[in-house]
Structure 1
Amino acid sequence: MAKPGKNNLITDVAGISVGQAEDARVRTGTTLILAEKPAVAAVCVAGGGPGTRETDLLAGGTLVDAVDAICLSGGSAFGLAAADGVAAGLKKAGRGFGLIDLPTVPKSPIVPAAILYDLANGGDKDWGEASPYAALGRKAYDNASGTFRLGRAGAGYGAAAGAHLGGTGSASIVTRDRITVGALAAVNCYGSVYMPGTDAFWAWPYEIDGEFGGVRPPSDFSMNAEDWGAAKLNPSLGQNTTIACIATDAILTPDQAKRVAQMALSGFSRAIRPVFAPFDGDAVFVLATGKRALPDPTAATLARIGELAASTLARAIARGVYMSGR
């Protein structure tokens, strides 16, 4: 049977590390998913109010088909500057894409990014002319490792999941033929992650070994199409977002990574209700580190990876909210 990796984190995927940084005064943070070597990447954006950087590079048919890192951040549009700090760290390490290999010409680090809105969470946003996000990005880069905190940490530090605390969550799965898929999510959704009137997560069918509390819905639970549970009461445009990254050690082409991203979107739907609203900025990236050849390189195997991405993402979302309350 497939089972979680050693740490049940996205960093169980070979070639992936994660760094995080927070600013308690501002009540915000940044999460970096760092690839050991340039990784094939893709993205799917499903929310109606996204905030992203360099996602056009991942559309296919472009010059660059691999990235150095993915940056997820709070801060709304200001948070996109976190990728500048990440790029600075990568430049110092000599990483990036270059058409010309000359010592006097720096390479350009490729760091697609997405942000969530946490500007109205009560933190001190009077930071003057320079936002804290580039510094947070650089700190996250310097902190990158194989383990990291869940819950009120990184990009999910100042987030809210419906009427509950949001947070950063992660999970992983390893198949019987040793393919590893991991997910990381920063959860700041409009919709509820809990079933109405219960402490059970919508994602409960995908839970493994009680990783987000083991609560199950009551036997007499009745579904009401108009009862969403504890969603945010007064959502506003652009203020509600879940941003996520899937990683796998499988060798994928850019087109295959795009298909995995498209399938992974259903992980949002399994964990949050409603989702992809006009005021959400939901987006999911995919990184393929290329450490493991597909045992059966067919569409059926790709479908397996896509389904594992979706279920693992649903688990990561629930874990992020669960750990925020611990």
Structure 2
Amino acid sequence: MTATHAKANLPAVKKKDLKSMMKPGPKNLITDVDGIQVGNAEDREVFTGVTAIVPDTAAVGAVDVRGGGPGTRETEVLSPDCLVDRVNAIVLSGGSVYGLEAASGAVMALAKQGRGYTNKGICVPIVPSAILFDLGNSGDKNWGDMPPYRHLGWVATENVSTDFPLGNVGAGYGAAAGKYKGGLGSASLVHESGVQVGAVVAVNPVGSVLIPGTHYFWAWAFEQDGEFGGLGAPHLAGDISLDMPKDSRLAENTTIAVVATNVTLTKSEAKRVAIMAHDGLARAIRPVHSPFDGDSIFTLSTEKKEMDGPRPLGLAKIGAMAADCVARAVARGVYNAESLGGLPGYKSEFMKNLHKGES
């Protein structure tokens, strides 16, 4: 039998059968993962904000940093060879180096709730964090002696929920994506076996999220249920430009994210998921992981479900789901961001050009 005949005799796989196995969760947010809540806080004068991802109980955590200009706090504690094996929250913040203080606010809020490990009667919450650069936007940075980030971290952590909006929210409030407004995005996937994976991303990259000369997202192929416009496959008149995007705002960047799963993982396995999840950034942003970005992805395992089948195969599936969620979350963050500070929102700019008869 020839290869052609063998292929012809294979049973056809229907698209609806594939979708029935895995689909976005009911909220299409990272909070579709059991045990995850998210809180956001913004300063609408400074044009900045903070996002706190808080598990209901301390979760296994890991991180993978790929950008050349990262700003992080307590990421080394997540190394598989370090003592602490669970974290109480992850904080994503605007504000560059000033934004690292957001984790201090989160620590204070969690300690007040008695969440953390106890040493000699003192509650010690573990809160790794990462920041993006939004100091170049048109918000008022004249904040006096005390930047707002500690307060924003406290507020975000105190007001967590399973529901939250996308776009100009939390750590994505002051973000930019080239000539468009960046934002906070989230997405989820739930497998019929009960495996849950979700991502939340603050989108502020050097690279472009759009195919050059079009309004099509690089992540178009991973879209589910029209979640970022439902434009379908791009219509290209010619070759795609391979030049560096003209609106990169070099040295004012970074995309940071958290992925979560309900499946029990070790720290080493969680690290592998974070590594695989970076492929989602590569699918949604071009270029990515540049010297000017601080791209970092954290993983949380809420340990609500045991791994099904062989662990390496199960881990590969979770990592693949995480990468797809990250790609979709990037596009959703930009798609839902409204115009702010002189940067047009994607939808308003797209509709304006549509009325002009442009594709």
Provide TM-score, normalisation by structure 1.
Answer: 0.95
Indicate which of 31, 36, 42 corresponds to 2:62: 42
- What residue is the counterpart of 1:153 in the other structure? 169
Residue 185 of structure 1, CA deviation: 0.1
Indicate which of 103, 123, 144 corresponds to 1:128: 144
Q: 2-side partners of 1:219 and 1:139: how far apart?
A: 44
Q: 1-side partners of 2:66 and 2:332: how far apart?
A: 22
Over 6 Å off, 4+ runs: none
- What residue is the counterpart of 2:117 in the other structure? 97
Residue 119 of structure 1, CA deviation: 0.5
- What residue is the counterpart of 2:309 in the other structure? 296
Q: Is 1:204 matched up with 2:220?
A: yes
Q: Is 1:257 matched up with 2:280?
A: no
C-alpha RMSD of the superposition = 1.3
Q: For the structure 1 residues 57 and 90, does the alpha-carbon distance in structure 2 shift closer, same or farther, using more than 3 Å as the test?
A: same
Q: 2-side partners of 1:284 and 1:221: how far apart?
A: 35
Aligned residues: 319
Secondary structure at the aligned position of 2:336 is classed as helix
Secondary structure at the aligned position of 1:107 is classed as strand
- What residue is the counterpart of 1:243 in the other structure? 256
Letter in 2 for 1:199: H
Q: Is 1:305 matched up with 2:325?
A: no
- What residue is the counterpart of 1:193 in the other structure? 209
Letter in 2 for 1:235: L
Letter in 2 for 1:178: G
Q: 1-side partners of 2:189 and 2:76: how far apart?
A: 29
- Assess if the C-alpha contact under 8 Å between 1:86 and 1:141 holds in 2: yes
Q: Is 1:266 matched up with 2:279?
A: yes
Residue 222 of structure 1, CA deviation: 4.0
- What residue is the counterpart of 2:12 in the other structure? none
Q: Is 1:184 matched up with 2:200?
A: yes
- What residue is the counterpart of 2:181 in the other structure? 165
Return 5+ residue gaps in structure 1 as ranges: none
Q: 2-side partners of 1:297 and 1:93: how far apart?
A: 38
Q: 1-side partners of 2:129 and 2:302: how far apart?
A: 18
Task: Please list the CA deviations of residues 187-241 of structure 1 after superposition, one character each: whole Å capped at 9, or x if unmatched.
Answer: 0101100001111100000000000001234444544362455642x412xx210
Indicate which of 283, 292, 308 corresponds to 1:279: 292
Residue 178 of structure 1, CA deviation: 1.1
Letter in 1 for 2:250: P
Secondary structure at the aligned position of 2:88 is classed as strand
Provide TM-score, normalisation by structure 2.
Answer: 0.87
Task: Please list the CA deviations of residues 105-146 of structure 1 after superposition, one character each: whole Å capped at 9, or x if unmatched.
Answer: 212100000000000101111111111000000110111011
Letter in 2 for 1:108: V
Q: For the structure 1 residues 37 and 170, does the alpha-carbon distance in structure 2 shift closer, same or farther, using more than 3 Å as the test?
A: same
Secondary structure at the aligned position of 2:42 is classed as strand
Letter in 2 for 1:314: A
Secondary structure at the aligned position of 1:61 is classed as coil
Q: Is 1:62 matched up with 2:75?
A: no
Secondary structure at the aligned position of 2:193 is classed as coil
Return 5+ residue gaps in structure 2 as ranges: 1-20, 338-344, 348-359
Q: 1-side partners of 2:271 and 2:90: how far apart?
A: 15
Residue 60 of structure 1, CA deviation: 1.5
